[in-house]
């Protein structure tokens, strides 16, 4: 079956993903993914921080099936029960006062940019610039590419959407230098995911928050990857003890059903008035049923506590490996179950391949850092399987 799919993909699918890993999955259960040839993999990447509940989570599947049988879509012309209830959940469990649903992380960030701009526009203040950080990743639409601080993602799409600029992360002086009287917002990932799991310093994040408040600038936190319990808190900004004016989330919010959210303080959110923003699919009955089922599982199964506890155990065991292999493992970073294992550059690809051959799914960031973002209900036994495979890879393949 794999060869057939590869041939179809090659012939008909736009080649944006190049040569993919040679595997196709037919079904999953918990941490396990079953390939068409019968091989069983452990999903330590969780669909890139999406499958927070693992695969085929019984209650989640049941909630979706029930919703599919009842109603998929009605349009935003009418009131939508699940949409209203999921907005309530997000607001009551975060520092935000209002939420808006869309379909992806990039779209949530687009919504955040629009909200920041319209907030000042409606006040009659000429502020529209958005500052973000080097090495950040905010999505693939034109505005989010302009905000993504990685030149290789930007180069083919110049001229970029105007008004965006990037500065060095964790450098508060750089913030002060970059801000102008046109700066509307500063956007950060508190833990940069795609570039290899790089957390911001607490002091930097807090200074940033205070600076934005003092200077009438909005702070936007991109929680697309860090949100919904990934770091052991529902949102990473809780770890930092700061409250953004706007934050975005997506990925794990739907556990695989596409949904994103823009969340904001009341004062900012009220800038969006009828007609200012919209969406066809965003927050429809199906995707918001998924969001509600994710919230229920997080609460009923104590997944925040598990992510925190298992994250600590995971990093401890990885640091144990680092002591054993100090020349190979250079750093172990992250919070909760978003973890980066930085390797000596010459061996990183071989380690990634070795893990894959041992049926451990991860991603390799910037050719240097193995990123893991497993389901939040992972067990210590599953962590041990990964550690064993990692050790075998370092011993046998390197
Ligand atoms: C921090 C962050 N923001 C935004 C995005 C874009 O999300 P999406 O691919 O759903 O548009 C990603 C995706 O990896 C991300 O990690």
Domains, the chain? 2-56+302-396 (3.90.1150.10), 71-300 (3.40.640.10)
CA of 123 to the centre of ligand 1 (A): 30
CA of 251 to the centre of ligand 1 (A): 7
CA of 301 to the centre of ligand 1 (A): 26
The active-site residue, picked from 100, 120, 137, 235, is 137
CA of 101 to the centre of ligand 1 (A): 15
Q: Is 43 in the pocket of ligand 1 (CB under 6 A)?
A: no
For 257, how many CA atoms within 13 A lie in the half-sphere containing its CB?
A: 27
Whether 247 is catalytic is: no
Q: Is 129 in the pocket of ligand 1 (CB under 6 A)?
A: no
- Element containing residue 164 per DSSP (H, E): strand 164-167
Q: Is 334 in the pocket of ligand 1 (CB under 6 A)?
A: no
Residue nearest to atom 4 of ligand 1 (CA): 138
Q: Is 225 in the pocket of ligand 1 (CB under 6 A)?
A: yes
CA of 284 to the centre of ligand 1 (A): 20
Ligand 1 atom nearest the C-alpha of 189 is: 1
Q: Is 64 in the pocket of ligand 1 (CB under 6 A)?
A: no
Structural contact between residues 236 and 193, judged by C-beta atoms closer than 8 angstroms: no
Strand order in the sheet with 129-133: 98-102, 260-264, 246-249, 218-222, 183-188, 129-133, 164-167
Burial class (CB in 10 A: 0-12, 13-18, 19+), 353: middle
Ligand 1 atom nearest the C-alpha of 106 is: 11
CB atoms within 10 A of CB 281: 17
User: Measuring CA to CA, how many Å separate 37 from each of 3, 24, 26, 40, 43?
Assistant: 11, 9, 9, 9, 17
Structural contact between residues 4 and 347, judged by C-beta atoms closer than 8 angstroms: no
Q: Is 139 in the pocket of ligand 1 (CB under 6 A)?
A: yes
Residue nearest to atom 7 of ligand 1 (CA): 105
Query: What is the best residue among 137, 235, 237 to mutate for testing ligand 1's pocket, by most ligand atoms within 8 Å of CB?
Result: 137
**What is the mean pLDDT of each successive set of 10 residues along the chain, which is 398 residues long?**
96 96 98 98 98 98 98 97 98 99 98 99 98 98 98 98 98 98 99 98 98 98 98 98 99 98 99 98 98 99 98 98 98 98 98 98 98 98 98 97
SS3 sequence, 344-394?
A: CHHHHHHHHHHHHHCCEECEEECCCEEEECCCCCCCHHHHHHHHHHHHHHH
Structural contact between residues 131 and 217, judged by C-beta atoms closer than 8 angstroms: no
What pTM was estimated for this model as a whole? 0.98
Instruction: Say how many Å lie between the first and final Cα of the chain, rounded.
Output: 32
Structural contact between residues 386 and 359, judged by C-beta atoms closer than 8 angstroms: no
Structural contact between residues 262 and 117, judged by C-beta atoms closer than 8 angstroms: no
Rounded distance between C-alpha atoms, residue 198 and residue 83, angstroms: 33
Whether 222 is catalytic is: yes
Rounded distance between C-alpha atoms, residue 2 and residue 369, angstroms: 28
Q: Is 222 in the pocket of ligand 1 (CB under 6 A)?
A: yes
Whether 39 is catalytic is: no
The active-site residue, picked from 222, 233, 245, 314, is 222
Helices (H), the chain: 2-12, 46-49, 58-70, 81-92, 105-123, 142-147, 151-154, 172-178, 202-214, 236-240, 266-269, 285-300, 303-324, 345-357, 380-396
Q: Is 89 in the pocket of ligand 1 (CB under 6 A)?
A: no
CA of 262 to the centre of ligand 1 (A): 13
CA of 42 to the centre of ligand 1 (A): 23
């Amino acid at each position: 079956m794999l060869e057939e799919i590869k041939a179809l993909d090659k012939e008909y699918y736009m080649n944006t993903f190049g040569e993919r890993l040679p595997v196709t999955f037919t079904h999953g259960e918990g941490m396990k993914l079953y390939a068409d040839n019968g091989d069983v993999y452990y999903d330590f990447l969780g669909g890139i921080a999406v499958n927070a509940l693992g695969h085929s989570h019984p209650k989640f599947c049941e909630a979706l099936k029930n919703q599919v049988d009842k109603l998929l879509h009605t349009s935003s012309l009418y009131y939508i029960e699940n949409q209203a209830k999921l907005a309530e959940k997000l607001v009551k469990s975060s520092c935000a006062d209002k939420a808006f649903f869309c379909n992806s992380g990039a779209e949530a960030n687009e919504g955040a940019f629009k909200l920041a701009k319209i907030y000042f526009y409606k006040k009659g203040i000429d502020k529209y610039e958005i500052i973000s950080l080097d090495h950040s990743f905010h999505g693939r639409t034109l505005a989010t590419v302009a905000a993504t601080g990685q030149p290789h993602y930007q180069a083919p799409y110049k001229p970029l959407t105007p008004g965006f600029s990037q500065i060095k992360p964790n450098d508060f002086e750089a913030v002060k230098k970059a801000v102008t009287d046109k700066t509307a917002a500063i956007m950060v990932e508190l833990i940069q995911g795609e570039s290899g799991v790089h957390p911001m310093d607490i002091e930097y994040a807090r200074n940033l928050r205070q600076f934005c408040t003092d200077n009438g600038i909005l702070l936007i936190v991109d929680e697309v990857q860090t949100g919904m319990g990934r770091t052991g808190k529902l949102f990473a900004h809780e770890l930092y003890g700061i409250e953004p004016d706007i934050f975005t989330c997506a990925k794990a919010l739907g556990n695989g059903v596409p949904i994103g959210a823009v969340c904001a303080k009341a004062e900012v959110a009220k800038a969006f008035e009828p007609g200012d923003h919209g969406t066809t699919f965003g927050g429809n009955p199906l995707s918001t049923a998924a969001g509600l089922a994710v919230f229920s599982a997080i609460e009923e199964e104590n997944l925040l506590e598990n992510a925190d506890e298992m994250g600590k155990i995971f990093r401890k065991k990885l640091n144990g490996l680092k002591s054993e292999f100090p020349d190979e493992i250079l750093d172990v970073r992250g919070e909760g179950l978003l973890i980066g294992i930085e390797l000596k550059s010459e061996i990183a690809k071989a380690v990634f391949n070795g893990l894959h051959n041992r049926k451990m799914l991860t991603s390799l960031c910037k050719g240097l850092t193995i990123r893991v973002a497993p389901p939040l209900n992972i067990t210590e036994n599953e962590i041990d399987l990964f550690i064993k495979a990692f050790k075998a890879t370092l011993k046998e393949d390197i």
